[in-house]
Amino acid sequence: MKRSIYGLTFEQLTNWLIDHGEKKFHSKQVWDWLYQKRVTDFSQMKNVNQSCIDLLQQHFTIETLSEEIKQESKDGTVKFLFKLHDGNVIETVLMRFNYGLSVCVTTQVGCNIGCSFCASGILRKNRDLTSGEIVEQIMQVQQHLDSQGKDERVSHIVVMGIGEPFDNYENLIDFLKVVNDKKGLSIGARHITVSTSGIAPKMYEFADEGIQINLALSIHAPNNELRTKIMKINRAYPLEKLMPAIDYYLEKTNRRITFEYILLKDVNDHKKEAEQLADLLKDKRHLSYVNLIPYNPVADHPYERSEKEAILTFYQTLMDRGIKCGVRTEHGTDIDAACGQLRSKQIEKEKARKKKKIQTN
Ligand code: SAH
Ligand code: SF4
């Protein structure tokens, strides 16, 4: 299988071309065709000389994802289910906000972190996505927008789809470099957010990258006992390891950090947990923002969405203690747009179909 050219940073492509006897300036041309004109075939790169095109064609592909399903919600959310070259399926979501168009990307096929509330965690990780497969999700969404002829651009990215991005660190970083590069899609670092379940050592590494990309930590509980119950990763990286990692990130970057908190009815949504969370974040409240997430029920999971009143009390308790927070508005609930839901439904359907086939044979 040839590599996807989308996976190479500008520097990597330039070095690759030089190593293969081509002129350095071709990388600028190739990137222009890929990311400004957005062609999907090397032969369309008109001003690039034939020997360079032949070479690229020999070693790389441009498109490797095929669109299996595209669902559009009433609120403008578009959900894509893509098939990878090896038959695996992943999902990508386009959301419309008043500040722009945001794409939620997947980084792995499944996820090994196995959080108890998450649809992606049920299906263990099959493999990491390559940097090219992550970039291509953005390109496919951009091409969908191009085809509508409204001159719309993807302006924001959230790395919050299936998978734990810090468990696929190098590919994540290459992806971020490609989409952020001024010569390419030029999506501003401040418009990109990476969400992690809290792989502490990688949080240090991320802080040291010297990029202005936003970090979100899925905290979901204010104490170890509760956090371990709902996220088993907390055994490896409990709060006493996470908090210093956050302090380091804040010190290094001086950027605000988002804490994601899924509200699970009668599990972590009491006033007492809001108070504990406020205490935990007290010394960094000037650089903290808590995103309260109404739980999206997942089939066969034991949790329910918190009552409206509990959500409001939680919110008010944090605000009263000087912790900035908000309740996440939902997008595309009519089309299974929550993390991993469309994909897991599709896999269930596929299993049922195969079972039926075996029975009828
Ligand atoms: N693995 C990373 C990023 C992907 S999950 C992480 O865990 O942060 C992105 C966000 O979606 C996380 O905050 C996650 O906890 C949340 N999420 C997962 N399942 C959900 C569900 N059923 N309802 C609402 N949010 C969910
Ligand atoms: Fe993986 Fe994130 Fe889902 Fe946890 S919430 S299982 S880390 S994708």
Which residues make Cβ contacts (< 8 Å) with residue 291, sequence separation at least 6? Answer: 216, 258, 259, 260, 261, 325, 326, 328
**Using a 6 Å CB cutoff, which residues line ligand 1?**
117-119, 160, 164, 195-197, 218, 260, 262, 293, 295-296, 298, 338-339
- Label residue 312 by pLDDT band (50, 70, 90): very high
Kindly state the tokens that stand for 117: 């509330």
At 282-298, the pLDDT tens digits run: 999 999 999 999 998 88
What confidence score (pLDDT) does residue 36 get? 97
Which residues make Cβ contacts (< 8 Å) with residue 346, sequence separation at least 6? Answer: 68, 69, 81, 89
d(CA 26, CA 11): 12
- Label residue 332 by pLDDT band (50, 70, 90): low
Reference 119, options 295, 332, 327; nearest CA is: 295
What confidence score (pLDDT) does residue 128 get? 97
At 242-284, the pLDDT tens digits run: 999 999 999 999 999 999 999 999 999 999 999 999 999 999 9
Q: Which domains does the chain have, with CATH numbers?
A: 3-61 (1.10.150.530), 65-353 (3.20.20.70)
Starting at the edge strand found earlier in the chain, the sheet holding 66-72 runs 66-72, 78-83, 89-97, 100-104, 156-159, 192-196, 214-218, 257-263, 288-294, 325-327
Evaluate: CB of 197 within 6 angstroms of ligand 2: yes
Q: Which of 233, 260, 263 to mutate to test the pocket of ligand 1 (most atoms within 8 A of CB)?
A: 260
What confidence score (pLDDT) does residue 356 get? 67
**In the predicted model, what is the mean pLDDT of residues 193-222?**
97
Find residue 257's DSSP bridge partners.
Answer: 215, 288
d(CA 294, CA 311): 8
**pLDDT surpassing 60 at residue 336:** no
> Which one is predicted more confidently, 191 or 123?
191
Region at 39 (left for phi over 0; alpha for psi -120 to 50; beta for the rest) = beta
Region at 220 (left for phi over 0; alpha for psi -120 to 50; beta for the rest) = left
* Lowest mean per-residue pLDDT among 74-78, 103-107, 285-289: 74-78
Q: How many CA atoms lie within 13 A of 268 on its CB side?
A: 26
Q: How many CA atoms lie within 13 A of 202 on its CB side?
A: 19
d(CA 152, CA 161): 22
**pLDDT surpassing 90 at residue 329:** no
At 143-162, the pLDDT tens digits run: 999 999 999 999 999 999 99
CB–CB of 126/106 below 8 Å? no
- Label residue 318 by pLDDT band (50, 70, 90): very high
Evaluate: CB of 121 within 6 angstroms of ligand 2: yes
**Around Cβ 147, how many Cβ atoms within 10 Å?**
8
Strands 89-97 and 100-104: antiparallel
- Residue 317's alpha-carbon distances to 9, 285, 313, 324, 326, in angstroms, are 45, 14, 6, 11, 12
What confidence score (pLDDT) does residue 1 get? 83
Evaluate: CB of 159 within 6 angstroms of ligand 2: no
What confidence score (pLDDT) does residue 38 get? 97
Please give the positions annotated as active site: 91, 339
At 27-36, the pLDDT tens digits run: 999 999 999 9
Between the CA of 10 and the centroid of ligand 1 the distance, in Å, is 31
**In the predicted model, what is the mean pLDDT of residues 163-174?**
98
- Label residue 221 by pLDDT band (50, 70, 90): very high
Kindly state the tokens that stand for 137: 């999700």
**pLDDT surpassing 80 at residue 120:** no
**What mean pLDDT, rounded, does the chain reach?**
92
**pLDDT surpassing 90 at residue 214:** yes
Find residue 82's DSSP bridge partners.
Answer: 67, 90
- Label residue 310 by pLDDT band (50, 70, 90): very high
- Label residue 335 by pLDDT band (50, 70, 90): low
* Lowest mean per-residue pLDDT among 31-45, 89-103, 116-130: 116-130
Q: Which of 158, 166, 197, 232 to mutate to test the pocket of ligand 2 (most atoms within 8 A of CB)?
A: 197
**Around Cβ 152, how many Cβ atoms within 10 Å?**
15
Which residues belong to the annotated binding site for [4Fe-4S] cluster?
Answer: 111, 115, 118
Q: Which alpha helices (H) appear in 131-258, and where do they start and end?
A: 131-148, 169-180, 200-208, 224-230, 233-236, 239-253
- Label residue 123 by pLDDT band (50, 70, 90): confident
What confidence score (pLDDT) does residue 345 get? 63
Evaluate: CB of 113 within 6 angstroms of ligand 2: yes
**In the predicted model, what is the mean pLDDT of residues 86-93?**
95
Query: Exposed, middle or buried by CB within 10 Å (0-12, 13-18, 19+), for 335?
Result: buried
* Lowest mean per-residue pLDDT among 81-90, 209-218, 222-231, 349-358: 349-358
Q: Which uninterrupted H or E stretch holds 319?
A: helix 308-320
Q: Which atom of ligand 1 is nearest to the CA of 162?
A: 4
Residue with tokens 């734990």: 164
> Which one is predicted more confidently, 339 or 278?
278
What letter would DSSP give residue 264? B
**Around Cβ 213, how many Cβ atoms within 10 Å?**
20
Q: Which of 93, 111, 339 to mutate to test the pocket of ligand 2 (most atoms within 8 A of CB)?
A: 111
